[in-house]
Amino acid sequence: MRHLKAGRTLGVKPAHRKAMLRNIVTSLLEKEQIKTTVARAKEMRKPLDNMITLGKRGDLSARRKALGFVKSKEAMAKLFGELAERYKDRPGGFSRIMKLGPRRGDGAEMALILLVDKPDDPFAGESKPRRRGGKKEPKAVLQDVAETVREEASGQPPADAEPAKSSKKAAAEADLQTDETKGAEASAQEAAADDTAPDTVSGGAPEADSGGAPEADSGDAPEKQEEKK
């Protein structure tokens, strides 16, 4: 298990790996743009940033340290001259990696690594130095919410504030109104039914009494008189 062994071995021994990184960094400082594999491009960013930081320092100690890594005088002159002036206000991130796709043959992922803010850099206007420290400005939405909370705490209604109802709450209120309407209609129908019920009873009962009782009395009375005789 590779515990505490950070970084990429790049498939070579440590001495070969260090020499490879020195060559790539030196070539990039001279040409400002090289084509290599993605793994090598990512691995060389750290030593490249260290060398440019030494170039920005510009003292004798920094020159001696950089001379132990950079392998050409042309790269040293450019590092402590043009590049130090270009990146004096940039805290880090001096390179950009652009992937180019797999290489024919072994299928290794290729990339183009270049120094940022160079004269012919197409992304020079879009790249900005990373902001470090300082207090972030609050967003407009957060400011509105903070003002509303302050006004509610003070007891004053917020200015130009309309009660915003969510869709779920509006749907629930609409369902409640519908239920109330249906209940009112049902109660109205029941009341109408109660009003019409006495009319039907009063209209049917007298007919039954007047039609049935006299007939029964008139038919039974003569028979009883004959039996008595």
Q: Report the sign of the C-alpha dihedral through residues 10, 16, 17, 23, in that order.
A: negative
Give the pLDDT confidence score for residue 94 in this predicted structure.
Answer: 93
What long-range pairs does 95-100 form, CB within 8 A, spacing at least 24? 95/28, 95/45, 95/48, 95/49, 96/123, 96/127, 97/38, 97/41, 97/42, 97/45, 99/38, 100/35
| Residue 28: count of CB within 10 angstroms of its CB | 22
Cα–Cα dist 122/191, whole Å: 83
d(CA 185, CA 179) in angstroms, rounded, equals: 10
Q: What is the mean pLDDT of the chain?
A: 78
24 and 40 in contact (C-beta within 8 Å)? yes
Instruction: Report the alpha-carbon distance of residue 66 to residue 51 in Å, rounded.
Output: 6
Structural domain includes residue 218: no
Query: Does residue 222 lie within any of the structural domains?
Result: no
Report the alpha-carbon distance of residue 14 to residue 22 in Å, rounded.
Answer: 12
Angle between helices 45-57 and 14-31 (to 10 degrees): 60
Could you tell me if residue 202 is inside a domain? no
Q: What value does the mean pLDDT take over residues 134-144?
A: 63
pLDDT score recorded for residue 161: 47
pLDDT of 200 higher than 70 = no
pLDDT of residue 206: 47
Those residues with Cβ within 8 angstroms of residue 128's Cβ, 6 or more apart along the chain or in another chain: none
Range of the domain at 110: 14-115
Q: Mean pLDDT, to the nearest integer, of 203-214? A: 47
Per the structure, the count of domains in the chain is 1
Percentage of the chain exceeding pLDDT 70: 69
CA atoms of 227 and 229, how far apart (whole Å): 5
| Cα gap 201→190, rounded to integer Å | 17
Structure tokens at 115: 């120094």
Q: Is residue 163 part of a domain?
A: no
Distances (CA, A) of 35 to 32, 175, 216: 11, 67, 125
**Rounded-to-integer distance, Cα 85 and Cα 105, Å:** 41
Q: What is residue 156's predicted lDDT score, i.e. its pLDDT?
A: 58
| pLDDT > 50? residue 204 | no
- 12-16, 19-23, 222-226 — which is least confidently predicted? 222-226
Q: Is residue 154 part of a domain?
A: no
Confirm whether 48 is domain-assigned: yes
Poorest-pLDDT segment among 21-25, 63-67, 223-227: 223-227
Q: Return the structure tokens found at 3.
A: 């515990």
Please indicate, yes or no, if residue 169 is contained in any of the structural domains: no
Give tens-digit pLDDT for 147-180: 777 777 776 555 554 454 456 667 777 777 777 7
Q: What is the CATH number of the domain that holds 91?
A: 3.90.1030.10
> What pLDDT score was predicted for residue 137?
61
Each residue's pLDDT tens digit, 27-50: 999 999 999 999 999 999 999 999
Regarding predicted confidence, which is higher, 175 or 3? 3
Among 17-26, 116-125, 219-228, top mean pLDDT goes to 17-26
For residue range 73-95, what is the model confidence (pLDDT) as tens digits?
999 999 999 999 999 999 999 99
Judge whether 28 lies within some domain.
Answer: yes
What does the pLDDT average to over 121-145? 63
Three-class secondary structure assignment of 118-144: CCCCCCCCCCCCCCCCCCCCCCHHHHH
pLDDT at 102 over 80: yes
